[in-house]
């Protein structure tokens, strides 16, 4: 597996376009399996592919704060990005059999790996809840989602490390779907930061995913097409 560094100038919805471009490159056999890590220095909201912004986001408050709302290619719930929120995207090949053959099997295989490598890095009793949440003392610090194509899948998620948690309550409504263990808790009762430095978290992910392959030529043409056709367009982010 290779570690893919995003261009230094990447910002906003470009992060989302690069993740999908990397998925397409692996699916087409143009790239090795890939781990991508990123953190935005500006705040923005990201919707799951099928979500309605009006149902999930305090749009008026986001406009007041100057926080844009974008849409990713995978499912899952809305999240807020910004400083202190480390993101990972792992792009893997899958076959008709094995642990990655189904959505459920992939969730279990990837999330157990993420849980174990973060347990090792922190020495803390991190647990897996719902289908794709990581929690510490029953409070969520990591949400995750996947997108599948014919021969490859994108599994990506967030790690709240030093994030300004009140921003989540300002930007996001109570979610239209909640896991049972949330038990109706509001955002600030439900989420927390993981006490782990960003560099330590990066190194834990790199070690845990066995990075060792060469860095491939970035799929710039795939990124360009996705950016022009989708991620630069309000019609994509505001649909539904």
- CATH number, domain containing residue 36: 3.30.930.10
Nearest residue to 149 via CA among 4, 40, 30, 15 = 30
Average pLDDT score over residue span 205-218:
86
Domain that holds residue 152: 2-237
| Total number of domains in the chain | 1
Q: How distant, in Å, are the alpha carbons of 180, 192, 210, 212 from that of 186?
A: 13, 12, 37, 41
C-alpha angle with apex 156: 205 to 138, nearest 5 degrees?
Answer: 80
| Nearest Cα residue to 52 out of 227, 173, 233 | 173
The pLDDT value given to residue 218: 87
pLDDT, one tens digit per residue, over 57-102 is 999 999 999 999 999 999 999 999 999 999 999 999 999 999 999 9
* Residue 213 pLDDT: 73
- Per-residue pLDDT of 112-123, as tens digits, reads 999 999 999 999
Q: How confident is the model at residue 217 (pLDDT cuts 50, 70, 90)?
A: confident
- What are the tokens at 177? 């779907």
Question: Which residue has 């990397």 as its token pair?
Answer: 22
Neighbours of 43 (CB within 10 A): 20
Q: Is the pTM of the predicted complex or chain greater than 0.85?
A: yes
Mean pLDDT of all residues belonging to the chain: 96
Query: Are the CB atoms for 48 and 146 separated by under 8 Å?
Result: no
Predicted confidence at residue 240, as pLDDT, reads 82
């Amino acid at each position: 597996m290779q570690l893919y560094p995003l261009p230094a100038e990447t910002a906003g919805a470009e992060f989302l376009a690069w993740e999908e471009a990397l998925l397409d490159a692996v699916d087409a056999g143009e790239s090795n399996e890939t781990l991508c890590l990123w953190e935005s220095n500006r705040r923005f909201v990201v919707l799951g592919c099928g979500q309605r912004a009006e149902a999930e986001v305090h749009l008026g408050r986001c406009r007041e704060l100057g926080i844009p709302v974008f849409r990713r290619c995978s499912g899952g719930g809305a999240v807020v990005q910004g400083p202190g929120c480390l993101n990972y995207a792992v792009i893997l090949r899958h076959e008709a059999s094995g642990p990655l053959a189904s959505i459920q099997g992939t969730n279990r295989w990837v999330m157990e790996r993420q849980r174990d490598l973060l347990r090792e890095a922190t020495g803390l009793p991190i647990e897996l809840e719902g289908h794709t949440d990581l929690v510490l003392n029953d409070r969520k610090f990591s949400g995750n989602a996947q997108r599948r194509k014919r021969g490859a899948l994108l599994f990506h998620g967030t790690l709240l490390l030093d994030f300004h948690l009140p921003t989540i309550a300002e930007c996001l409504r109570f979610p239209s779907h909640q896991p049972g263990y949330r038990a109706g808790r509001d955002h600030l009762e439900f989420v927390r930061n993981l006490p782990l430095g960003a560099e330590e978290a990066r190194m834990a992910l790199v070690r845990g995913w066995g990075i060792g392959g060469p860095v491939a030529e970035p799929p710039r043409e795939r990124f360009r097409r996705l950016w022009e056709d989708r991620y630069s367009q309000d019609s994509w982010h505001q649909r539904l």
